[in-house]
Amino acid sequence: MSFKRPVFPLYIIAALLFGLKTYIVYRFVFTIDLDNMMQEFILLINPFVSAFLIFAISVWFNKTSRQMKFIRYTALIGSFVVFANLVFYRQFTDFITIPQLFMGSNMSDLGSSILTLINPFDILIFVDAALIWYLSKKQESKLAVEYPKSGKVFAMALSLALLAGNFFLAEMERPQLFTRAFDREYLVKNIGLFNYHVYDLVVHSKTESQRVFADGNELPEIQEFIDKNVKVDEKSHMFGAAEGKNVIFINAESLQEFVINNDVYGEEVTPFLNRLIEDEDTYYFDNFYEQTGQGNTSDSEFLVENSLYPLSRGAVFFTHGGNEYNALPEIIKEEGYTSAVFHANNKSFWNREGMYQSLGVDHFYGEEAYEVTDENSIGWGLMDKPFFEQSIKYLQSLEEPYYSKFITLTNHFPFEMNDEETSIDPYDSNSNTLNNFFPAVRYMDEAIEDFFTQLKDSGLYEDSIIIIMGDHIGISANHNRAMSMYLEKEEITPYDQVQLQRVPLFIHIPGDGNGETISEVTGQIDMKPTILNLLGIETEDDIMFGNDVFAEDRKEYIALRNGDFISDDYVSTLGVCYDRETGEPIDEEVTETTEETENQPMTENACAPIQEKVQTELSYSDNLIYGDLFRFINFNIED
């Protein structure tokens, strides 16, 4: 019996073309940082290893027609996976996760945002798939293989051996890669895009099973960690400073701290917010960090309402919208507060309608509550000025006291603006996104100023506190070249990238008179305990990972969702520890000697002790969400 063995079977041709295509995308489209030649080598081989493993499955099909069909559809589907990640990466500098694939209902609302992320040259991603499709149809008899069983086993064994070799090198380069995989870029860089997606599927399946097997026994350990590392013993001097007042919270879309007190060609970007900082009734926090993950605005909401971290994969609003929580609206409802959210967008976007029920929100004024026309909308919908103007009547109708949240829309990627609504010129750089960001921010600044006037005219101002918080960054790392030009830096370093995650926080209390700028390191995780303390509400045994921003004895760090952190002294990112004041890397310090190392001194990164707490804290927060552990707790409130 003879077996057909072409010199270049199609599955090998497909693997080589697909691997080459993927490597080119890695190297020249994704901005993957490479620190040494080993990382370069691993990045080079991993797309070929993955492609060979996938396409080698085709040898097990006995009929050549099925073999060809498997190869061409695999090439096409794989190309779509690369393309989808490419488009996603251009906006978020991140890779798609399984939970995000279930967030497809959001796609219908993205509109022009997605179109701006697609490049005509992206069609080249499908060239190899088209060639493979052609060859599989026209050269089937020449390129198909008919291996004996031993040949099939050898092909798969070789594929798995190559995969094991890739994983071995990855583990050498990045120890504990899979157990401490907070950064998806590290996974893609070391094991490849497609193996990352397989890993993500495994992790997704594992986390989905956590709720089934959870029984609440995990809670004492989490509570002990919080009692030891997070909770403060004494109330801050601001406890009860806004007792009985309405809370008006403005979630300022994509507003970053670097535009505050800054200008474009001599024109202030945020003149009203700049003046608000100087107001004697305003507390401004200039080292306040956003801590969102892939859920963006919805993640910022989750942080504010729960003082829990969002998930590293997908959006909690989608994946765990039916969980039990002890959210801020639920807690203050017991104190007579009504809660409402105002957002002129689809109720299904980010699953807000469902999630707000889980959070205990009483009223949600969505898109249907507003008069939206072609003249008053752009980009993602109703512009901010008419949004605030149309919201006043609903705010006046709420039973007092109330907790109300306004989520703005206009300053949203791709930052489209009508000429007649533009007050300042765009910036001039190689990034249209950054260029258009400044006029959009200026418009939002004007809208917030108008809203303050409307609150005063309607009689709501004096009996309220007004909180303005940037929800997440608007300019991703893909625009660092233009950003370095604007900030007059030679480059945006990893340290700078962390600093760019600062967003403004204003707490404006009419009549307070003691306002100031506070430079302590704070973050969105702190908003729930801060609001509760301002309102004079003390909770018993609540599980929160944040502190009152006014507290003296706060925990020493703010954790970012990817495992980076900022403390009073350090900034830790991408495995490097920096001095927070100077931005200079800190050398490792000698810590001890051991017999195992033959009395050679061991070194420890100065950030290591805090890094361990950060990883533990993020893990505990994830456990609370994945296991739906709040269903096992009865919370009480004290006056």
CA distance 170 to 556: 33
The predicted pLDDT at position 374 comes to 87
Three-class secondary structure of residue 405 per DSSP: strand
Split at pLDDT 50, 70, 90, the class of 598 is very low
Q: Which residues of 499-509 are buried (b: 16+ CB within 10 A; e: fewer)?
A: bbbbbbbbbbb
Q: In which region does residue 26 sit, left (phi positive, over 0), alpha (psi from -120 to 50) or beta (all else)?
A: alpha
Q: Tell me, yes or no, whether 626 lies in a domain.
A: yes
Q: In the listed set 170, 189, 210, which residue is the last one of a domain according to the structure? A: 210
- Does the pLDDT of residue 21 top 50, yes or no? yes
Split at pLDDT 50, 70, 90, the class of 399 is very high
If you average pLDDT over residues 202-224, what whole number do you get? 84
CA distance 181 to 163: 18
Q: Report the range out of 59-68, 205-214, 450-459 with the highest average pLDDT.
A: 450-459
How many residues would you count in the chain? 639
- Which contacts of 453-459 are long-range, i.e. CB under 8 A and separated by 24 or more positions? 454/388, 454/389, 454/392, 455/248, 455/392, 458/392, 458/395, 458/396
Q: Tell me, yes or no, whether 131 lies in a domain.
A: yes
Check residues 295 and 273 and name the one with the higher pLDDT. Answer: 273
Task: Say if residues 52 and 162 touch (Cβ distance below 8 Å).
Answer: yes
- Does the pLDDT of residue 119 top 90, yes or no? no
* 188, 254: one domain: no
- Which of 262-276, 291-305, 366-380 is predicted with the least confidence, judged by mean pLDDT? 366-380
The predicted pLDDT at position 15 comes to 92
* 322, 348: one domain: yes
Q: Tell me, yes or no, whether 68 lies in a domain.
A: yes
Split at pLDDT 50, 70, 90, the class of 597 is very low
Helices (H) and strands (E) in the chain, counts: 22, 22
CB atoms within 10 A of CB 277: 18
* 142, 283: one domain: no
pLDDT tens sequence across 465-495: 999 999 999 999 889 999 999 999 999 999 9
Split at pLDDT 50, 70, 90, the class of 442 is very high
* 229, 353: one domain: yes
Task: Say if residues 397 and 460 touch (Cβ distance below 8 Å).
Answer: no
Q: In the listed set 210, 237, 256, which residue is the last one of a domain according to the structure? A: 210
The CATH number given to whatever domain includes residue 413 is 3.40.720.10
* 285, 167: one domain: no
Domain that holds residue 280: 219-593+609-638
CA distance 426 to 422: 9
* 402, 483: one domain: yes
If you average pLDDT over residues 401-412, what whole number do you get? 95
CA distance 376 to 378: 7
Percent of the chain with pLDDT over 90: 60
pLDDT tens sequence across 355-371: 899 999 999 999 999 99
Q: Report the range out of 46-50, 181-185, 312-316, 413-417 with the highest average pLDDT.
A: 46-50
Query: Which residue is listed with tokens 């976007």?
Result: 349
* Pairing relationship of beta strands 402-407 and 338-342 according to DSSP bridges: parallel
Q: Tell me, yes or no, whether 410 lies in a domain.
A: yes
pLDDT tens sequence across 539-594: 877 999 999 999 998 999 999 999 999 999 999 998 899 999 999 999 765 445 44
If you average pLDDT over residues 156-172, what whole number do you get? 88
* 67, 129: one domain: yes
The predicted pLDDT at position 6 comes to 59
Q: Tell me, yes or no, whether 333 lies in a domain.
A: yes
- Does the pLDDT of residue 182 top 80, yes or no? no
If you average pLDDT over residues 185-202, what whole number do you get? 84
Q: In the listed set 210, 233, 265, which residue is the last one of a domain according to the structure? A: 210
Alpha helices in 320-431 (DSSP H): 328-333, 352-359, 384-397
Check residues 26 and 528 and name the one with the higher pLDDT. Answer: 528
- Does the pLDDT of residue 110 top 60, yes or no? no
If you average pLDDT over residues 202-230, what whole number do you get? 86
If you average pLDDT over residues 257-273, what whole number do you get? 97
- Does the pLDDT of residue 599 top 50, yes or no? no
Task: Say if residues 85 and 193 touch (Cβ distance below 8 Å).
Answer: yes
Check residues 385 and 111 and name the one with the higher pLDDT. Answer: 385
CA distance 495 to 207: 32
What string of H, E and C letters represents the secondary structure of 215-261?
CCCCHHHHHHHHHHHCCCCCCCCCCCCCCCCEEEEEEECCCCHHHCC
* 186, 226: one domain: no
Closest CA to 156 of 11, 272, 300: 11
Check residues 189 and 283 and name the one with the higher pLDDT. Answer: 283
The predicted pLDDT at position 389 comes to 97
Check residues 580 and 108 and name the one with the higher pLDDT. Answer: 580
CA distance 491 to 220: 46
* 203, 231: one domain: no
* 504, 366: one domain: yes
Mean pLDDT of the chain: 88
* 101, 223: one domain: no
pLDDT tens sequence across 487-531: 999 999 999 999 999 999 999 999 999 999 999 999 999 999 999
Q: Which of 297, 319, 338, 573 is catalytic?
A: 297
CA atoms within 13 A on the CB side of 228: 9
582 in catalytic set = no
Count of domains in the chain?
2
pLDDT tens sequence across 27-83: 888 878 777 888 889 889 999 999 999 999 988 888 888 889 999 899 999 999 999
The predicted pLDDT at position 601 comes to 46
Q: Tell me, yes or no, whether 602 lies in a domain.
A: no
* 248, 200: one domain: no
Task: Say if residues 136 and 72 touch (Cβ distance below 8 Å).
Answer: yes
- Does the pLDDT of residue 283 top 90, yes or no? yes
Report which secondary-structure segment, H or E, holds 92. helix 64-92
Q: Tell me, yes or no, whether 20 lies in a domain.
A: yes
CA distance 204 to 199: 9
Split at pLDDT 50, 70, 90, the class of 596 is very low
Report which secondary-structure segment, H or E, holds 620. helix 608-626
Q: Tell me, yes or no, whether 600 lies in a domain.
A: no
DSSP letters for 345-368: S-TTGGGHHHHHHHHT-SEEE-GG
CA distance 86 to 90: 6
Task: Say if residues 500 and 475 touch (Cβ distance below 8 Å).
Answer: yes
